[in-house]
Amino acid sequence: MQHEPVTFSEIQGIRYLHLGTPWVQGAMRIKKPYAIELEYAQQMMSWLLFLDANNKKTLQLGLGTGALTKFTNRLNDSIQTVAVELNPGIIVAAQTMFSLDVQSPRMKIIQDNALHYVKDTNNHHQFDSVQVDIFNGEASGPALSSLDFYQGCYKTLKEVGVMTVNLFSRHPSFKTNINHICDVFDNRVLLLNEVHDCNVVVLAFKGPHLEISWDDVEKRSQYLRKETGLPTKRWVKHLKKCNVQPKKFLSI
């Protein structure tokens, strides 16, 4: 199978990943290799608002620069991270150019097609969170958008779990993706505010109905900001702005 070529660029202390085009597939600030540089990628960690990271197992579909995998692996000493990436060149690049250390016994990198992985029954009911960030070489739209794919993602989650997905609002598949996610997750879906050019991160929930006061969500975001350095206060603001929700509490 022929894979897209992996290329790089650097400007003002930031190294970028490309797949043979100028479009950015990931980024790393060279002096801060374990920080998440891009805002949409920071938003992909928004599942932390709803799940404690201790003794959790997470799945990243699409490795990119390894930003999510590196960051998640360093949240605590009990979390386990699995990343699935089809392109072997990206796996090598993440290690050699983007400081991904695969020696951690709590980290596993698997070369596989994400659709094949999530449909494999051996991987069902294994993960607390799933992060989906799989794009074509031109970074113009998601590489996987089918109902079958999102059903697989749902099945990989444990009885209580959260999926985050990076979508492009201006891509023709945007509504299709949203509809499929809503169908699979029984409309238990929230959107964050569009960032960069048109990145929209979607959260989808599996498990019992969740009702929590916005005050408690705010407190959780403040705690996470201190612990992780992520701009979590912005996430809460976005959740209120972009979704039809009661004023005093979040219900999903």
d(CA 248, CA 85) in angstroms, rounded, equals 41
Nearest to 114 by CA among 90, 99, 132: 132
pLDDT of residue 199: 92
Phi, psi of 47 (to 5 degrees): -60, -20
Q: Kindly list the domain boundaries of the chain, sorted by start residue.
A: 7-209
CATH 3.30.70.960 fits 7-209, yes or no: no
Is the predicted pLDDT of residue 138 greater than 60, yes or no?
Answer: no
Range of lowest pLDDT (3-17, 66-80, 134-148, 157-171): 134-148
Tell me the pLDDT tens digit for each residue of 213-237. Answer: 999 999 999 999 999 999 999 999 9
d(CA 32, CA 20) in angstroms, rounded, equals 25
Is there a contact between 161 and 206 (Cβ–Cβ < 8 Å)?
Answer: yes
Helices 232-242 and 214-228, axial angle in degrees (round to 10): 150
d(CA 227, CA 222) in angstroms, rounded, equals 9
Tell me the pLDDT tens digit for each residue of 177-187. Answer: 999 999 999 99
The average pLDDT across 51-77 equals 97
196 contact partners, CB below 8 Å, separation of at least 6: 38, 39, 40
5 contact partners, CB below 8 Å, separation of at least 6: 19, 20, 89
Nearest to 97 by CA among 2, 25, 197, 196: 25
Q: Predicted confidence band at 142 (pLDDT cuts at 50, 70, 90)?
A: confident
Is the predicted pLDDT of residue 30 greater than 70, yes or no?
Answer: yes
Is the predicted pLDDT of residue 140 greater than 80, yes or no?
Answer: no
Is there a contact between 26 and 67 (Cβ–Cβ < 8 Å)?
Answer: yes
Is there a contact between 208 and 185 (Cβ–Cβ < 8 Å)?
Answer: no
pLDDT over 70, % of the chain:
98
Tell me the pLDDT tens digit for each residue of 144-175. Answer: 889 999 999 999 999 999 999 999 998 888 99
Is there a contact between 111 and 91 (Cβ–Cβ < 8 Å)?
Answer: yes
Give 123's DSSP letter: G
Is the predicted pLDDT of residue 15 greater than 60, yes or no?
Answer: yes
pLDDT of residue 94: 97
pLDDT of residue 137: 56
pLDDT of residue 3: 86
Range of lowest pLDDT (16-20, 65-69, 88-92): 16-20
Tell me the pLDDT tens digit for each residue of 74-129. Answer: 999 999 999 999 999 999 999 999 999 999 999 999 999 999 999 999 999 999 99
The average pLDDT across 56-79 equals 97
